[in-house]
A and B are shown apart, each in its own frame.
Chain A
């Protein structure tokens, strides 16, 4: 097995161009588990850990957006600038694994693995994030919705590196909540990200672990926008709240597995969405 450890993005891109099928590794918190289980046996590995460009945070106030390097560890999203402007992402980052995992794991890896239970992904989805990819001779930006193709499948092409994701700074409440069977370090049984855009009067709801990939509840979003004025804080009537939850649950597509049941997952996203909507209007 060969392991290349490039120090710059340029070197990393050269390396992937020379060997497009080489396995990329960032924090290794997904990949090493797969290697340990013999699910993957890479022969050539390109380690991105030393590439500082992948750990940058760029805040563009003019465009009202933040671009986060694909290799930035979660631990650095829990507090500070990102937590202030993208609280839902900070909350999602805090739910990932343990301190050890959060100091290594990254959004790039979460996108690379593209598990429906990946905790960063519902936030990226609810915020309509853009995934920025680069190869030695080209670069492109893809909507996260197009990037996530299916269970553990994404739109990255051989030779491409995910360099960053760009997320809008939205004016309005946003939050993330995740159900697991224990109080920390647990794979999501069901999760929900809710973002209210007070300026445009819209809401975005994305669900994790209740479908082959992250689910955006677009029908419910537009239904709610037609029921209430989302540009201001409103009290949502109990009936409306109930219907909101039910509609969210109906958009989910959960399955039974050893972690939970489809019925519970459907119920959980219903409750989480209702609670997040209540929080959005009370804070």
Chain B
């Protein structure tokens, strides 16, 4: 909430490992997360949720709850003054359930009270009468026209085909498989929380909230409150991770409604368990693929059917689906394709954005196939991938030409060149062995496997979406002040933005203004886009300021401004002796510029899945070395080698952080992270049973950054957030296959999948 002054003597410009200003505070517990927010006279809000995956609401009786001392307000669907539903793409999710509940955890009512404990008692006192219905929990069943729809819009959220080239081609080599991906959770550490403060008079509201996109939240909240956008002012609360789970709104509308109703500040925050119910997850998917190839391993045609389970409401399912279908070819040339994809509604928990966004599922399937193809053609996993690696200028199955830098073969070769870890020795420390502290396995029980994964990932939003970013730069007395609405979720824009300003303007001191809706949108912190988009906006605003500064200096000292450049912290004349420090030159003047960065326009896919739907692409290769106790089915990932197409490294330590973190998340999906469902009910909504990798599970990461600057990108840098978590999952699965000889068509790979 407060602005942070960033001074530095080391000249933390682009290309240096500048440290994040919030890093030490986070490690020491001093950082103010949105769950730490507080206001005088505030009340607490809490949500009543459905215990049933599918039921008709017959009656809601609030009378007993109202009798509890300390309860100030209880609201239901009837109390939503504006739009009764919200959603990112199609607005189908009720603020509060009206006639039906469609998933376990769907909000039904919210209470405001003087204490969280009063809230809890009030929720327990609300009597909801249900007619329990049979839930639809099978995504393939949901597609069948004979299956009754669970939503007025039907069960199929979107179907997208890709039909291109020869539809009858049969390859000399044909390999196929059906692959399944379980439901992963984003599992950010900072739980959902918000503070809403109503304007006196009740005609507006101020909110502090942990989100990924302030302006999208603002729009959706305002519509539900029936207020104009500008009457809903949002400020970013401290965010503890997001990974896609904060793209959809969760408690925002509830919190705002309670504040307007009670005319008092309302604080809401979820517990870990509620967080599992309160946000969307990664889509579980089932993907069939058949590859046709020549005897020498060149891919000729792919046939695929993808089914993504979107859960009860649409969220971003339609966009996740097109990412899945358009990336099903992987980073490989292919001219002929027959692809059919579905995203459907079921009574499972809603699914939406998560790091990798539909590509994770596709990649697990196509990489599993590449290994089958390698075996069928008698080639190594590396050779089959090199033979098919796409290059800039190749045409995708959508007809779009890859204009991005596409160093796929280089990613593979440089990964391959990374030294393998030393073999396991008989004297290895027990904690280094599979089973870790459980002491289950000795070296003689362990087999080591190696596996590969390579991926392509689109950057920014697709299909005609203009997700622009805005930034403002003010220069005064040698201090640059940056204003933008770019959400910091941990990705590091908070360190990158000042680096850009220092490089472009030659200043040392950069002030970051409050991140709020007091400026134009920055778009979402997702889709690996903020370095490119908001980085481009900050760069653009700083360049405009620099131009004005040069003009000012030129006029004052009678030099053609076109001859001026920034050198460290000085303005110098390229062809003369003139030199003045930026601090001196900007003393007494105020230069203020705002810039909007837009990426190039994209198109929608047509019925046959043709169209230039994506902005740009990034590539990465992963090689996993995994120790497996085959008899017990236990695994330990020893090393991940990776070479990633990053365009340009703007901050080495931050880039490595994204890579290591992404790998840990992809490892989680490969071997342990899964929301276990039983007829629509989550069995493990806690960190006791939803397992995230610990330090003993995290592999050593050896990363090579492939720097081939991307001409389209404002700073030459591609987005690096998502690629690390995409192909690492299939690489780990492949390594386990290599060690065990099992097909393992499903992730996460469970012990019983290996040993039986």
Chain A positions within 8 Å of B, measured between CB atoms, are 33, 36-38, 91, 94-95, 98, 175-187, 189, 191, 257-261, 263-264, 267-268, 271-272, 275, 279
Q: Whole-angstrom distance from the CB of B510 to the nearest CB of chain A?
A: 38
The segment from B55-63, B312-320, B334-342, B686-694 that touches chain A is: B686-694
Interface residues of B in 297-321 (CB under 8 A from A): none
Min Cβ gap B18→A in Å is 32
Bound-complex Cα distance A36 to B274 (A): 12
A258-B683, A272-B440, A275-B445 given; A182·B672 CB < 8 A? yes
Q: A91-B439, A191-B438 are in contact. List 14 more A-B contacts (CB 8 A).
A: A177-B439, A177-B440, A179-B438, A179-B440, A179-B634, A182-B691, A182-B697, A183-B694, A183-B696, A187-B688, A189-B751, A263-B752, A264-B633, A264-B755
CB pair A177–B438 under 8 Å, yes or no, is yes
| Known contacts A91-B439, A95-B438, A177-B438; A260 and B689 CB within 8 A of each other | no
Of chain B, the residue at the smallest CB distance from A185 is B694
Q: Is B695 an interface residue (CB 8 A)?
A: yes
Inter-subunit contact B676/A258 (CB<8 Å): yes
Do residues B438 and A180 form an inter-chain contact, with CB atoms below 8 A? yes
Contact A275 B442 (CB under 8 A): yes
Contact yes or no, B750 A181, CB < 8 A: yes
**A32 to B: closest C-beta gap in Å:** 13
Residues of B421-445 whose CB lies within 8 A of A: 431, 434-440, 442, 445
> Given the complex of chains A and B, what is the CA–CA distance between A95 and B750 in angstroms?
20
Closest to A268 in B: B632
Chain A residues with CB below 8 A from B636, complex form: 183
Q: Is the CB of B751 within 8 A of A260?
A: yes
**B464 contacts the other chain (CB 8 A):** no
Select one of B436, B689, B696 contacting A187, CB under 8 A.
B689
Among B431, B634, B676, B678, max chain A CB count under 10 A is at B634
Chain B nearest CB, measured from A4 CB (Å): 22
| In the complex, chain A residues whose CB is within 8 Å of the CB of B131 | none
Shortest C-beta distance, A276 to chain B (Å), equals: 9
Q: Which residues of B contact A260 (CB under 8 A)?
A: 751-752
Q: What is the interface of chain B mostly: helix, strand, loop, or mixed?
A: loop
**Nearest B residue (CB) for A187:** B688
CB atoms of A259 and B756 under 8 A apart: no
Give chain A residues whose Cβ lies under 8 Å from the Cβ of B676: 258
Q: Bound complex: CA of A180 vs CA of B636, how far in Å?
A: 12
Contact between chains at B752 and A264 (CB < 8 Å): yes
CB of B226 closer than 8 Å to a CB of A: no
A-B contact pairs, 15 of them (CB 8 A): A33-B688, A38-B120, A94-B437, A178-B437, A179-B751, A181-B691, A182-B694, A183-B436, A183-B696, A184-B697, A185-B694, A191-B438, A258-B689, A272-B632, A275-B442
Q: In the complex, A200→B436 CA distance in Å?
A: 33
- Please name the residue on chain A nearest to B751 by beta carbon: A264
A181 and B672 in contact (CB under 8 A), knowing A260-B752, A264-B755, A271-B632?
yes
| Complex interface: chain A residues within 8 A of B633 (CB) | 264
Task: Give the residue among A33, A36, A181, A275 with the most B Cβ atoms within 10 A.
Answer: A181
Chain B hits for A263, CB < 8 A: 752, 756
B348 vs chain A, min Cβ distance (A): 15
Q: A263-B752, A264-B755 are in contact. Are A182 and B440 (CB under 8 A)?
A: no
Chain B positions within 8 Å of A191 at CB level = 438
How near does chain B come to A90, taking the closest CB pair, in angstroms? 11
Residues of A within 8 A of B230 (CB): none
Is B36 part of the binding interface, using a Cβ–Cβ cutoff of 8 Å? no
In the complex the two chains form, is A184's CB within 8 Å of B755's CB?
Answer: no
Residues of B within 8 A of A (CB): 120, 271, 273, 431, 434-440, 442, 445, 631-634, 636, 671-672, 676, 678, 683-684, 688-689, 691, 693-697, 750-752, 755-756
Q: How far is the CA of A185 from the CA of B698 in the complex (A)?
A: 13
Q: How far is the CA of A271 from the CA of B634 in the complex (A)?
A: 12
- For A95, list chain B residues within 8 Å (CB): 437-439
For the complex, give the distance between the alpha carbons of A185 and B752 in Å.
20
Q: Which residues of A contact B435 (CB under 8 A)?
A: 177, 179, 183
Name the residue of chain A whose CB is nearest to the CB of B686: A37
B6 CB to closest chain A CB, in angstroms? 33
Find the B residue at minimum CB distance from A37. Answer: B273
Asked if A179 and B632 make an inter-chain contact with CB atoms under 8 angstroms apart, the answer reads yes
- Nearest CB in chain B to that of A267: its residue: B755
- Report Cα–Cα, A271/B441, bound state, in Å: 10
Given A179-B751, A275-B442, decide whether A184 and B688 contact each other with a Cβ distance below 8 A.
Answer: no
Task: Specify the chain B residue showing the minimal Cβ separation from A264.
Answer: B752
Bound-state Cα–Cα, A268 to B634, Å: 10
> Which of chain B's residues have a CB closer than 8 A to the CB of A264?
633, 751-752, 755-756
CA–CA, A184 and B430, complex, Å? 12
List, in ascending order, chain B residues with CB within 8 A of A91's CB.
439
Give CA–CA (A167, B431) in the complex, Å: 27
Q: Chain B residues near A184: list those with CB within 8 A.
A: 436-437, 694-697
Minimum CB–CB distance for A238 against chain B, Å: 14
Residue from A37, A184, A263 with most neighbouring chain B CB atoms (10 Å): A184
Cβ–Cβ contact A178 & B440, under 8 A: yes
Question: In the complex, which residue of chain B has the Cβ closest to the Cβ of A93?
Answer: B437
Which A residue sits closest to B436, measured CB to CB? A183
C-alpha gap A150/B750 in the complex (Å): 29
Taking the nearest CB of chain B, how far is it from the CB of A211, in angstroms? Answer: 19
- Which residues on the A side are within 8 Å of B678 (C-beta)? 258
| Chain A contacts for B431, CB-based, 8 A | 183
Using CB atoms, name the residue of chain B closest to A176: B439
> Known: A263-B756, A264-B752, A268-B632. Contact between A178 and B697, CB under 8 A?
no
- Residue on B with the closest CB to A192? B440
Question: CA of A179 to CA of B672 in the docked complex: distance in angstroms?
Answer: 14
For the complex formed, measure the closest distance between the CB of B22 and the CB atoms of chain A, giving whole angstroms.
Answer: 24
Cα A259 to Cα B437 with chains together (Å): 18
Known: A177-B439, A260-B751. A183 touches B697 (CB 8 A): yes
Pick the contact of A183 from B273, B438, B631 — CB < 8 Å?
B438
Q: Which residue of B lies closest to A96 (CB)?
A: B437
Chain A residue contacts of B688, Cβ below 8 A: 33, 187
Q: How far is the CA of A184 from the CA of B439 in the complex (A)?
A: 10
Q: Tell me the nearest residue of chain B to A261, going by C-beta.
A: B752
Instruction: Please provide the 7 A-B residue pairs with the shortest distance between their CB atoms, ordered closest to farther.
Output: A183-B436, A258-B683, A183-B696, A178-B438, A184-B696, A264-B752, A258-B676
The CA of A188 and the CA of B564, in the complex, are separated in Å by 68
Please indicate the chain A residues that have their CB under 8 angstroms from the CB of B434 in the complex.
Answer: 183
Q: Which chain A residues border B696 with CB–CB below 8 Å?
A: 182-184
Q: Give A198 to B678 CA distance when docked, in angstroms.
A: 48
**Which chain B positions have C-beta within 8 A of A189?**
751
Report chain A residues within 8 Å CB of B691: 181-182, 186
Write the nearest CB–CB distance from A252 to chain B, whole angstroms.
Answer: 15
Output the least CB separation between A246 and chain B (Å). 14
Give the distance in Å from the alpha carbon of A189 to the alpha carbon of B688 in the complex: 12
B438 neighbours in A (Cβ, 8 Å): 95, 177-180, 183, 186, 191
CB neighbours (8 Å) of A175 from chain B are 439
Query: Once the chains are docked, how many angstroms separate the CA of A109 from the CA of B347?
Result: 40
CA distance A275 to B442 in the complex (A): 9
Chain A residues contacting B631 (CB-CB under 8 Å) are: 271
Cα-based distance from A110 to B691 in the complex (angstroms): 22
Evaluate contact between A275 and B440: CB separation under 8 angstroms. Answer: yes
* CA distance in complex: A273, B352 (Å): 44
Shortest distance from the beta carbon of A275 to any chain B beta carbon, whole Å: 7
Which residue on chain B has the smallest CB distance to residue A94? B437
| Docked CA distance A37–B695 (Å) | 27
- Min C-beta distance of B624 to chain A, whole Å: 16
A98 to B434, CA, bound (A): 18
B632 touches A182 (CB 8 A): no
Residues of chain A within 8 A (CB-CB) of B683 are 257-258
Task: Name the distance in Å between B335's Cβ and chain A's nearest Cβ.
Answer: 42
Closest A residue to B629 by beta carbon equals A271
Query: Could you tell me the distance in whole angstroms from the C-beta of B27 to the nearest C-beta in chain A?
Result: 16
Q: Which of B439, B695, B751, B756 contacts A178 (CB 8 A)?
A: B439
Contact B751 A182 (CB under 8 A): no
Given the complex, which residues of A lie within 8 Å of B440, measured CB to CB?
177-179, 272, 275
**Chain A min CB distance to B184 (Å):** 14
